[in-house]
């Protein structure tokens, strides 16, 4: 055999061995009961048995997890999986170094951010010039490198003031902790037992209250009133049945009618439990609270059946209206154009006529005759008529 042919055969044998070494992992001791099923990652189908050992048959095929067994077989120079199982490292991250034994290599291998050993080798510190990526912030980096806050936020996207990994005890929640550590409920509740959506330390202005603010911030009155001006215990979305209306429900849930009626069938404007003083009665109070006498009289001292604030048209005055509403007299005059003192339907007997009756029932210019048997025109009226007649006579002739 020629020398060249022999060299070619030797080269092919060497390349074959190199190729096998590149793909096949080394044997490791993870076999149990003749099976490699316990070797990690356990769901990887590349494990093969060899005598009492196991190995990865193809190390170029990416594993589902860089577990320590995989690293021991395929990367014996870096035989440990890092904590997140994303790569093989030289350091055993499951074994914490003793104080004074930390190294830059262990710190770098076993943390998700760029990190090194501190001066006395008692722990790891971040390299502050290397800002963490989104979702990679840690308490270590924030405490050593951030001027904003010493702790990582809950989503690991920033540094915050509060320690989000330590939940406050009841009564100890604060706006700061909630803002830092809760993605939706940014404020502490009134009792500081939880985080809420609403800012309970800022009371809304009248008209700006909301159901959410009331439920978040006023647990004893968790519902919104009808005017959006306050929180209440009353559920304004549920109308009470007839006979069940109360002052509490009406004051909370009606925009104008703040009191329950006496029948408790509806809400009304007036407080029927407080009777007005004499002179203070109104049509509103009477219609709300005295349904059989729904109007205030002219003196506003009681409730009556007629609307005294709406006088009849001339010729329409009645005994009923005058007796109930008039301040000048309780009888209508003869032509029903006003109310008067005298009863014009009751003609006096001879000798009993009076100036009042004559003025009320005949004409305002009439007075009683000297014998009190009738009414006569007043002297001043006669003089006026006489002067008028003389003037007419002068003009004609």
- pLDDT, residue 178, reads 92
- pLDDT, greater one: 282 or 22: 282
pLDDT above 90 covers a percentage of the chain that reads: 37
Residue ranges of the alpha helices (H) in 24-174? 68-74, 104-109, 139-145
- pLDDT, greater one: 236 or 50: 50
- pLDDT, residue 138, reads 86
- pLDDT, residue 5, reads 53
Residue ranges of the alpha helices (H) in the chain? 3-23, 68-74, 104-109, 139-145, 175-181, 211-217, 247-253, 283-289, 319-325, 355-361, 379-396
- Comparing 40-49, 294-303, 322-331, 386-395, the range with the smallest average pLDDT is 386-395
- pLDDT, greater one: 227 or 195: 195
Most confident of 41-45, 230-234, 242-246, 293-297: 293-297
- CA 47/CA 70 separation, integer angstroms: 9
- pLDDT of 173 above 90: yes
Mean pLDDT of 281-291: 92
Mean pLDDT of 311-324: 90
325-369 residue pLDDT tens: 988 888 999 889 899 999 998 989 988 899 989 988 988 778 888
Mean residue pLDDT of the chain comes to 85
Mean pLDDT of 48-64: 90
Cα separation values, 5 from 16, 17, 18, 255, 334, Å: 17, 19, 20, 107, 154
Tokens describing residue 88? 């093989």
Mean pLDDT of 371-392: 70
- Is pTM, for the whole model, over 0.75? no
- pLDDT, residue 103, reads 93
- CA 293/CA 309 separation, integer angstroms: 14
């Amino acid at each position: 055999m020629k020398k060249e042919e022999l060299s070619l055969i030797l080269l092919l044998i060497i390349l074959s061995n190199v190729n096998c070494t590149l793909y096949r992992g080394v044997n490791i001791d993870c076999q149990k009961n003749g099976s490699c099923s316990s070797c990690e990652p356990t769901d990887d189908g590349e494990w093969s048995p060899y005598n009492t050992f196991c190995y990865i048959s193809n190390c170029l095929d990416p594993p589902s997890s860089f577990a320590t067994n995989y690293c021991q077989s395929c990367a014996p120079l870096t035989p440990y999986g890092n904590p997140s199982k994303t790569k093989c490292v030289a350091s055993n991250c499951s074994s914490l170094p003793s104080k004074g034994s930390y190294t830059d290599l262990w710190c770098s291998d076993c943390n998700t951010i760029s990190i090194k050993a501190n001066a006395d080798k008692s722990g790891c510190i971040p390299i502050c010039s290397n800002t963490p990526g989104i979702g990679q912030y840690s308490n270590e980096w924030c405490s050593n490198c951030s001027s904003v806050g010493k702790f990582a936020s809950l989503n690991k996207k920033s540094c915050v003031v509060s320690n989000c990994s330590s939940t406050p005890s009841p009564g100890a929640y604060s706006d700061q902790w909630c803002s830092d550590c809760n993605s939706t409920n940014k404020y502490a509740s009134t009792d500081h037992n939880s985080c809420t959506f609403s800012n309970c330390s800022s009371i809304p202005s009248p008209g700006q209250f909301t159901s959410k603010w009331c439920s978040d911030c006023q647990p004893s009155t968790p519902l919104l009133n009808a005017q959006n001006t306050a929180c209440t215990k009353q559920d304004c979305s549920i109308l009470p049945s007839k006979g069940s209306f109360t002052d509490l429900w009406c004051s909370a849930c009606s925009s104008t009618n703040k009191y329950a009626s006496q029948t408790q069938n509806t809400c009304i404007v007036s407080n029927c439990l407080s009777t007005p003083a004499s002179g203070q009665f109104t049509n509103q109070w009477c219609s709300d609270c005295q349904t059989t006498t729904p109007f205030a009289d002219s003196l506003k001292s009681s409730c009556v059946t007629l609307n005294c604030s709406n006088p009849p048209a001339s010729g329409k005055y009645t005994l009923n209206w005058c007796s109930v509403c008039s301040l000048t007299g309780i009888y209508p005059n003869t032509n029903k154009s006003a109310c008067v003192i005298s009863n014009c339907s009751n003609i006096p007997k001879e000798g009993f006529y009076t100036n009042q009756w004559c003025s009320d029932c005949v004409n305002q210019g009439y007075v009683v005759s000297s014998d009190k048997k009738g009414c006569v025109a007043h002297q001043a009226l006669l003089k006026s008529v006489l002067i008028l007649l003389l003037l007419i006579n002068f003009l004609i002739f």
